[in-house]
Chains A and B, each alone.
Chain A
Amino acid sequence: MKPVNQKAWLLILPVILCVAFSAILPLMTVVNYSVQDIISPERRVFVGTEWFKAVMRDDDLQGALLRQMGFSLSVLLVEIPLGIALALAMPAKGWQSSAVLVTVAISLLIPWNVVGTIWQIYGRTDIGLMGAALAAMGFDYSYTGNATDAWLTVLVMDVWHWTPLVALLCFAGLRAIPDAYYQAASIDGASKFAVFRFIQLPKLRGVLMIAVLLRFMDSFMIYTEPFVLTGGGPGNATTFLSQYLTQKAVGQFDLGPAAAFSLIYFLIILLLCFILYNWMQRVGTANKEPGHE
């Protein structure tokens, strides 16, 4: 067990100040908006929980929430295994290692609106590489006309964009495993799979937890890329939660309902992350053998 030491608070105080500075006041302001009908800056009426009730009854919102869940789940199911596999395949030494690291990281560094724009061209069957290649292979591909194609394109774009985040975290996590563990395993004659299952995977638990939570919450708030690529269409096939929220907040200037929506949105992410976090912690500790720290 960790020793109890209340003085540790002094070490985390700067972090709390830095974050609270930008966190507390805006959150309070949004809570304040959510219980008022703001007709103009001077005329506000207190409406209590009315906006919350209205938001909960909204059918479009429920549709967007379901699409969002499906999308985020798919993102995790593809990106986490792919990221781990990639981290295991990346060379650890020499110039190849540096070259692969830089190449893998490139997609993360492109601003999100540019990502959407590039894929918009890249996926077109007349002038884009991917679209033209798919068309040449005989697929009737169109991300603007076909709902399934649009959804898959957004998913592939997200996988392209964000798998490197999982891969880099896991790669660094793998490098942090002391050589002694591998030596012990090779003396025991452990198979490759056993090394992965009993040494690498448990040691990656910390970084994998971060990767899963980050990818989950970021994909749950995905906005710019699908907005630029498909505009939420065709129909509403790629209208995810944040896009629906922005339509409400910016499009209709309804600050009250939009604030209520934001808070519910925030609470959904919070709840799901909390469940994921606790579940992963339990899985991690259950795997640990007794006596092994």
Chain B
Amino acid sequence: MNERRLKKRTLFLVLYLVFAILPVYWMVNMSFRTNEDILSTFSLWPQNATLDHYKTIFTDVSWYSGYINSMIYVAINTVISLVVALPAAYAFSRYSFLGDKHVFFWLLTNRMTPPAVFLLPFFQLYTTLGLMDTHIAVALAHLLFNVPLAVWILEGFMSGIPREIDETAYIDGYSFPRFFLTIFIPLIKAGVGVAAFFCFMFSWVELLMARTLTSVNAKPIVATMTRTVSASGMDWGVLAAAGVLTIVPGAIVIWFVRNYIAKGFAMGRV
């Protein structure tokens, strides 16, 4: 009985993974083929494989600097998001104070603004501040949707930790910072890992704000990619190759945080 359930579970998992991986495979497949080949023939794997598209990206500074710019502002953004969100999430999960519920919900409302019309005021705000075309501008703008997300995720995980742990630590003479850093954060590793990954991910793929606030020096890869659509048609191969390469940094990030996500509470000290 148990074994049959296990098999069903594995079968479901494998089916989903196939569903998840096929479009990605198709992108990889496209990235190794010429545009004429992509548009004219159906083929399950690249015949006459070419590395031209990758060569274009790695030799053209306007392409590869896009990756570097994106990584810089995404890293700044993720670090700031987590640093400010951790204490705030603790406050929301442990104390009541004037307006706590309203502030908590207000935070999330900042993810709900449809960007199209809001881009112009953003542009004006950052121009006035003299921050246009800098990494810090994009990192700050992305805080708008990443900080609320991080607070909400972390609050959810912190609320799952019994309050007795805090009280015991305070009785044992721990100061708040010491308790928070050495006992509490290790207990919510899973939450920190997920929050870090999501902050990375949402900032990495965001296009409209990043494109509005940059022109040359901080131009992100997602904006560079829109170049592949031109009057002479679509450069499918380069776009696919660039798409394949955008997965790489994120895959590395999740590889590093996977232990945080997978172990979580189970290895805690309770």
Contacts and interface: CB of A to CB of B under 8 A. Distances in A.
B13 A89 contact: yes
Interface in B167-186: none
B147 A98 contact: no
A75 to B, nearest CB: 16
Interface in A1-52: 1-9, 11-12, 14-16, 18-19, 21-23, 25-27, 29-30, 33
A277 B114 CA distance: 20
A169 interface: yes
Contacts of A262: 113-114, 116-118
Contacts of B255: 98, 102
Given A19-B144, A89-B13, A30 B266 contact: no
Interface in B51-99: 80, 84-85, 87-88, 90-92, 94-98
B262 A101 contact: yes
A187 interface: no
Contacts of B263: 175
Contact of B92 (A12, A130, A213, A246): A12
Interface string B228-259: 00000010100110110011001100110010
B204 interface: yes
A245 to B, nearest CB: 5
Contact of B110 (A3, A19, A85, A259): A19
Interface string A68-93: 00000000000000100110111011
A172 B261 contact: yes
A269 B113 CA distance: 9
Contact of B20 (A11, A97, A103): A103
A259 B117 contact: yes
Contacts of A249: 116-117
A7 B95 CA distance: 9
A258 B197 contact: no
Interface stretch (A54-62, A121-129, A137-145): A121-129
Contacts of A192: 5
A56 B75 CA distance: 42
A15 B155 CA distance: 13
Contact of A106 (B111, B143, B251): B251
A217 B110 CA distance: 11
A210 B222 CA distance: 26
A187 to B, nearest CB: 17
Contacts of A207: 153, 156-157
A224 B234 CA distance: 17
A59 B29 CA distance: 44
Given A14-B87, A108-B250, A19 B143 contact: yes
Interface string B103-126: 101011111111111101110110
B34 to A, nearest CB: 13
Contact of A6 (B88, B98, B162): B98
Contacts of B5: 192
Interface residues of A, number: 106
Given A102-B258, A177-B265, A270 B109 contact: yes
Contacts of A93: 262
A165 B194 CA distance: 10
B266 A175 contact: yes
Contacts of B266: 175, 178-179
Given A113-B207, A114-B243, A176-B264, A105 B24 contact: no
A16 B103 contact: yes
Interface string A221-249: 10110000000000000000110011001
B216 to A, nearest CB: 20
16 contacts: A2-B95, A4-B96, A7-B97, A8-B95, A15-B88, A16-B103, A19-B107, A22-B110, A30-B117, A106-B20, A106-B24, A128-B42, A209-B156, A223-B115, A245-B117, A249-B116
Given A175-B264, A265-B114, 20 more contacts: A5-B95, A8-B97, A11-B88, A11-B91, A18-B147, A26-B125, A85-B12, A86-B12, A97-B258, A101-B254, A102-B254, A105-B197, A107-B20, A108-B201, A108-B205, A110-B247, A168-B197, A169-B194, A210-B153, A259-B117
Interface of B: 5, 9-10, 12-13, 16-17, 19-27, 30, 38-42, 44, 80, 84-85, 87-88, 90-92, 94-98, 100, 103, 105, 107-118, 120-122, 124-125, 140-141, 143-144, 147-149, 151-153, 155-157, 159-160, 162, 188, 190-191, 193-194, 197-198, 201, 204-205, 207, 221-222, 225-226, 234, 236, 239-240, 242-243, 246-247, 250-251, 254-255, 258, 261-266, 268, 270
